[in-house]
Copies of this chain bind each other. A is one copy, B any other.
Amino acid sequence: MYNIALIGGDGIGPEVVEQAMKVIDATGVKTSSTSYNLGASRYIRTKEVLPDSVLDELRTFDAILLGAVGPAIGSKEVPSGTLERGLLLKLRFELDLYINLRPFVTPPSGANPAFETVDFVVIRENTEGTYAGEGGFLRKGTPNEVATQGSVNTRFGVERAIRFAFELANSRPAKNLTLVHKTNVLTFSGDLWQRTFDAVALEFLGVSTSYNHVDAACIYMVESPSRYDVIVTDNLFGDILTDLAGAISGGIGHAASANLNPARTGPSLFEPVHGAAHDIVGTGKANPIAAIRSGALMLDFLGESQGANKIFSVLSDFAPESGATTSQIGDAIAERVSNAN
């Protein structure tokens, strides 16, 4: 029995989380869930983003499943960055969710024939880089203003991300790992990443490695993404590359993500990459597949690989009937998953 904290969030978030839990139930894995109301609607009502007491409660769970947070597009009620930094990034930092794992698998339907079929995973360092928030202003608001924004990279943080990526690559058939950075320009952070990558590689001689500059990697994502097996990169490049990877592999509506604390000093967090899509709330048009896949990543990380694999295997040849609603898609997947029992 796993204790799961559910943060449905805003817009279609609660709808897709509901389907993910339905599918998890269908695997036979037992969970007990508690819902937390966090996100734009709570902020608008109470001006609270993530009260310390809630954060402390969240620490006690086995895992956290999150739908999507964010105000409706164009809404001015939540200043830009409030939920990102106060909730999503705060959870990543406070819970030391140092791995952001995002698998990209071309779905059986809805794949854009313009792009190669892909099956790769991006491992994004999730707790440092420019996300550390380092920097400041000098002479703010004057014509002589300087704004600095630092990227802070530690051997500790870089190495644990790279090691995780090598272990993952080593467990996959292709056993290939690509480091993406911009070492020709970012001579300090890039150098640390490159040296750490080369050092850890010596422990994984069965994994073939390559290196791409981030700009070249964006071209490859469009022109020949099937070259990738596992990619490891820093926080900001990972943010950019994973949205692009979503776009070339069935759309962001299919992209799942896991924010992992592999040291298991607290719960990990699982969330679809897509946003709150307020415009389709209640219409049944929300695609729950990214949330369901995120749920499978959660089961997998909890050690329930059998349950997780049932979901992955159903998703690998599931194409929703045209016009199927959010809950009909959830029902159809849940049914196939329970038949796989």
Interface residue ranges, A against B (CB under 8 Å): 80-81, 84-85, 89, 112-115, 130-131, 133-137, 141-156, 182-192, 195, 214-216, 218-219, 221-223, 236, 239-240, 242-244, 246-248, 251-252
Cβ of A214 to closest chain B Cβ, rounded Å: 6
Contact A136 B223 (CB under 8 A): no
| Bound: A239/B84 CA distance, A | 25
A190 to B, closest residue via Cβ: B149
Contact A192 B155 (CB under 8 A): no
Which residues on the B side are within 8 Å of A190 (C-beta)?
149
Which residues on the B side are within 8 Å of A244 (C-beta)?
215, 218-219, 221-222, 244
Which residues on the B side are within 8 Å of A133 (C-beta)?
187
The quantity of this chain's copies bound in the complex is: 2
A149-B151, A215-B239 given; name 6 further pairs at CB < 8 Å: A112-B114, A113-B114, A130-B186, A144-B154, A144-B155, A145-B154
Q: A85-B185, A218-B240, A219-B246 are in contact. Are A153 and B144 (CB under 8 A)?
A: no
Q: A187-B81, A188-B137 are in contact. Are A143 and B155 (CB under 8 A)?
A: yes
Which residues on the B side are within 8 Å of A240 (C-beta)?
214-215, 218, 240
- Can you report 6 A-B residue pairs in the complex whose CB atoms are below 8 A from each other? A135-B151, A141-B195, A146-B153, A182-B236, A182-B239, A244-B244
Contact B135 A148 (CB under 8 A): no
A235 to B, closest residue via Cβ: B185
Which residues on the B side are within 8 Å of A218 (C-beta)?
218, 240, 243-244, 247
Contact B183 A80 (CB under 8 A): yes
Contact of A184 among B81, B156, B185, B251 (CB under 8 A): B81
Contact A191 B131 (CB under 8 A): no
